[in-house]
A and B are shown apart, each in its own frame.
Chain A
Amino acid sequence: MEVKEKRMRTRILSILAYTGAGLTLVVAICVPFVLFQVFTNVVAHVGLHIDPAYSGGTVARTIDRGGYRIVVYQPVQPRLLERIEPFVQIVFEPADALPARVTDEIDLDGDGRPDVRVSFNLPADPNTPLRGDVTALNATYISLASVGGESFSRMVVRTGNKIVVRVPLNRGTVH
């Protein structure tokens, strides 16, 4: 009786194993046609976002300057041990509508008073590295002189048809 039971168990397990192996093959065939897209959609729709240290965070408001606009982002605060300074991102777009020399006083916190003065020369060749200056107009922000793409918190760089400026915030003044 015991031997019979054991044989039956082995048989059932084998059937299950071969069914599983067959399904694995079906899954393998489905990967490029169906599953790849399904998994991609699942990952895309679980509400994940890129770390603001890379993406710049969320948009606070847009300032229209006629031919171009300035997008001001929410200040980005580093997490406990994150190796970046707090910063605020400003994007000038479209870059091809900007004058050859840009000097703009920008209200970052929305209180109606300018907080920083950003100035840079826009090279005709988009591949030429950009350098610019940021002058802090109050103690919340830190001035930058001739900055390019030095760090995630201090930069004036061109990305496609945009100029991305990141201004560091004084840690003591950030709430």
Chain B
Amino acid sequence: MASRSSALARPPAFRGIGRSILLTLPIALWSLLMFMPSFQHAGRDRHISALLVILFMTTLFFLMMRTGETYRWRRIFFVAMGFLFPFGFIAALVAERGTMSIPISRMVSGDTPFCFMVTPSLLLPAAFARTIIFPGSILPTASNPHSIAAMIGVWFAMTLILGKAWCSYACFFGGIEEGFAAFPKRRRLHRFITRFGAYLRLIPWAILVFVVLASAALFEPVYCMWLCPFKAVTEFPAVRNVTTAVQMGIFVALFVGLVVVLPYLTKKRTQCGFFCPFGAFQSLFNKINLFEIRFDREKCVDCTLCQTSCPTVALSKESIREGKTLLNCMKCGACVDACKKDAAVWHLKGTPVAVKPERARLLFLYGAWALATMMGGSILANSVATMVHWLPWK
């Protein structure tokens, strides 16, 4: 297998077309399997959207195989999911209730769709009082198919496979800031982030501890009620008094600051790297996950290109010297793609470092992309179906 050299000297194709197609075939079949129900039951909008999503996911995987690059193609999927999820979600809300705000009547009837971001807040009350502090329903109902049991079930299953890679293959919010981070050519505040990265990385852990303890003490999902930036683009409690107005103000300020402005300025996923408590919680699962990124110290020249390219500051000079990423690495592949010496490699724990890294990458990508197709693909299909439905010339 051809080895990758520098980005500039990189051969135009990492793998031949035939071999790339062959390696893409399982994902193509998986995509067809995932969207089979759309072809069997739903209308023309669904057929078109399913077909487009199958083509989209399969093509991106093919390009990963053909070029040997991961980050670039994953990012296209991830940003598409990030921007299309709120579009489809808001369209569904407006069609159903005419507003993005969730009235208290829907909360007491258990109709709030469950979001995985609240999971850490639920842990202590669930463990010690057997109580779920979320206004949803435990089992799916006709009015709320996104039940707590179903969403926690899918999160847990996917976390076993992806670990922290959930944040770069499955999170339907992260793509928004990754999109804004992709716009500018120049990165600003780079020196600040490099200098204070070690402290900035600790903030999500501090917020996680605060959110878990405060949620247990107040018996309410503190992150959802006060700190979630993505409430601004999904649904939020209806503004009915000063408290809910303040909450709404915080959601909008956090969204604009952490998801739009700072990613645009720094080219980093600032909400994910410096704020998200769920991301910190998810980092713990990297310990039990088999896949990771490692550095071949014999090839590494300490150019820190990998550190600069990392969207969540999951690398430090010390960690690179030790040949490892930090615990919050989300396996997006940015450092591997950026490394001009092929020193950053995909790695399967237990195997020697830098021996058959492409095999490790393939094993990881099949699982990750299969789940990305299952979860992200269905999100994309829903949103695309909504767009197709609204086409003026249809």
Contact = CB atoms under 8 A, between A and B. Distances in A.
B104 A155 contact: yes
A50 B135 contact: yes
Interface string B270-298: 00000000000000000000110000000
Nearest to A163: B105
Interface stretch (B11-19, B148-156, B337-345): B148-156
Interface in A115-162: 149-152, 155, 157-160, 162
Contact of B157 (A14, A27, A55, A160): A27
Contacts of A56: 108
Contact of A81 (B157, B218, B240): B218
Given A17-B350, A27-B161, A155-B104, A79 B135 contact: no
Contacts of B105: 149, 155, 157-159, 164
B240 A150 contact: yes
A116 to B, nearest CB: 18
A155 B103 CA distance: 12
A44 B154 contact: no
Contact of B138 (A28, A37, A43): A43
B351 A14 contact: yes
Contact of A43 (B149, B290, B370): B149
A50 B137 contact: yes
Interface in B135-191: 135-139, 143, 147-150, 152-154, 156-158, 160-161
Contacts, number: 160
Contacts of B360: 21
A44 to B, nearest CB: 4
Contacts of B363: 18, 21-22, 24-25
A13 to B, nearest CB: 4
B351 A43 contact: no
A142 B219 CA distance: 24
Contacts of A47: 130
B357 interface: no
B224 interface: no
A67 B42 CA distance: 40
Contacts of B109: 159-160, 162, 164
B52 interface: no
Question: Which of A28, A42, A81, A158 has the largest number of chain B CB atoms within 10 A?
Answer: A28
Interface residues of A, number: 53
A32 B370 CA distance: 10
B379 interface: no
A36 B143 contact: no
A118 to B, nearest CB: 16
B350 A20 contact: yes
Given A27-B157, A28-B161, A152-B108, A50 B350 contact: no
B253 interface: no
Given A17-B350, A159-B106, A50 B134 contact: yes
B153 A43 contact: yes
Nearest to A20: B290
A22 B157 CA distance: 16
A39 B108 contact: no
Interface in B101-147: 103-111, 125-126, 129-139, 143, 147
B367 interface: yes
B348 interface: yes
B98 to A, nearest CB: 8
Question: Which of A40, A44, A157 has the largest number of chain B CB atoms within 10 A?
Answer: A40
Given A47-B130, A48-B131, A149-B105, A54 B110 contact: yes
A79 B219 contact: yes
B299 interface: no
B372 to A, nearest CB: 10
Given A27-B160, A48-B126, A50-B137, 14 more contacts: A13-B351, A14-B351, A17-B348, A25-B366, A25-B367, A29-B30, A31-B371, A39-B156, A44-B139, A54-B108, A55-B110, A82-B219, A152-B104, A152-B107
Interface of B: 30, 34, 103-111, 125-126, 129-139, 143, 147-150, 152-154, 156-158, 160-161, 217-220, 238, 240-241, 290-291, 348-352, 360, 363-364, 366-367, 370-371, 374
3 cross-chain pairs, A with B, having the tightest CB-CB distances, nearest first: A17-B350, A39-B153, A159-B109
16 contacts: A17-B348, A21-B364, A24-B290, A25-B363, A27-B157, A28-B366, A39-B152, A51-B131, A54-B110, A56-B108, A81-B217, A81-B218, A149-B240, A158-B105, A159-B105, A162-B109
